[in-house]
Structure 1
Amino acid sequence: MDATDLMRMYLADPDQPFPPVELADPSGLIAFGGDLSPQRLLSAYSAGIFPWYNPGEIIHWYCPDPRSILIPTDLRVTKSYRRAVEKADYAVTMNRAFAEVMAHCGEPRGGDDGTWIGSDMLAAYLRLHHLGHAHSVEVWRDGELVGGLYGVARGRSFAGESMFSRARDASKIALYWLCAQLTAWDFPLIDCQIASGHLTSLGAIELSRADYLALHTSAAARPGPPGPWQFDIPVPTSPNHLPV
């Protein structure tokens, strides 16, 4: 990468727009620098761009090609997955514990001591949540938060950021009910960003960046659900499982 490329990619001014996504490098990196202000984050998500970097590093912005997405109606539900959902030994909520969900998503896992969700990320997405743009789904058992996920909505396009599970299938239960609600709201996609074996096993597919952006741009241009997000489909809500 030469000096001209670095200058093009560096966001030196708060109002500087992102470069065209077609100029991203092979990893999908489109820009670096800037900040995590609500304005910058909303501009990024509207354009199909997301931040991804380690705590202490300069902010990196990505728009990879290909792009992993999950069509909510295409969630792959195996027999064991369906049994876990239908057992209903849990309560599921939306936007009840956003900060806690994100904090759990940022905990090291799988023997890895690191995390890409640092304190600046936590603060930035909590601001988006308070502004009504970032949302969480929570799964509770016996008053304990055992699983969940969070992401950012633009219109009727939802970008899933991360999920966590402290009990078997808890994050998959959160995803099941998110997909059910987004289907009811006529959301055509959940942006999964980068493919993984786990997401693929759940039905995620890869699209070219151009095809993803066409789908995302159309969905993001449609008005989202009015008012604060809450489930308006029947979900397990046993008070025995919710926190006091």
Structure 2
Amino acid sequence: MAQNIHPTAIIDESAEIGDNVEIGAYCIIEGNVKIGAGTRLRNHAQIRNYTTLGEDCYVDSFAVIGGAPQDLSYKNEPTTLVIGNRCTMREYVTMSRGTPNGKGVTVVGDDCYFMANSHVGHDCVVGNNVIMANSVALAGHVTIGERVILGGLSAVHQYCRVGRHAFVGGLAAVVADVIPYGSVVGVHAHLAGLNIVGLKRRGFSRVQIHEMRSAYRMLFSNEGTMQERIEDVLERFSNIPEAIEIVEFVRAESSRPICLPRD
């Protein structure tokens, strides 16, 4: 079990360290931590209690992964943070464990990239292939779907959902749920259409994008009620999975409203 651990690193005896892990100078690994094979920690990184870090991850200097939730009701209960494989956490990234009043766990998927100073709050669920640019902040209980991109200095309000393949523009303050494939901008953020650039990059065909745009226009037009427009989309686009996904997202139970286009 080859490992490269700097002699100044402080590692709790209960920590489980996988093969080929690199731990730099002055790193701190607390109790009940699991670090997967091939993961690298730069100097001064910290992995706090009850954190599981997957394989082939990278944690840069001064990141604090698995810190106690920033919640006044938290009383040192043994909640957890679980991070998938091949995730990158750059300088000063912070991620909090869950709370007993929430899920009890914060979850991050595979192949995510967290740029410097970004933050994942307690009880969040972050899907695979998510990119958070510099200083993005997720409040507690936020759900981020797979392949979402969040622009620099944007923030997501607690309990908000951001559907998969969505794009959040830089400096946006997201206070309402963002539909799958949507693009939101502004402070406070408003829906500005579909994430067309992202869809093209991910291989969606021209026909798919055309149908999704037609469904989007129908759903967010000014004619009729939202329920009537939902029924129209379900009738006309029943064979378009992406359109149905957006409708199901809108209809799902949520404590936050749906982010809408600006009038």
Q: Which has the larger radius of gyration?
A: 2
TM superposition score category, shorter chain reference: under 0.3
Using the size of structure 1 for normalisation, the TM-score is 0.22
Which structure has the higher relative contact order (CA within 8 Å, separation 6+)? 1
Q: TM-score, normalised by structure 2?
A: 0.21
Say which structure is richer in helix.
1
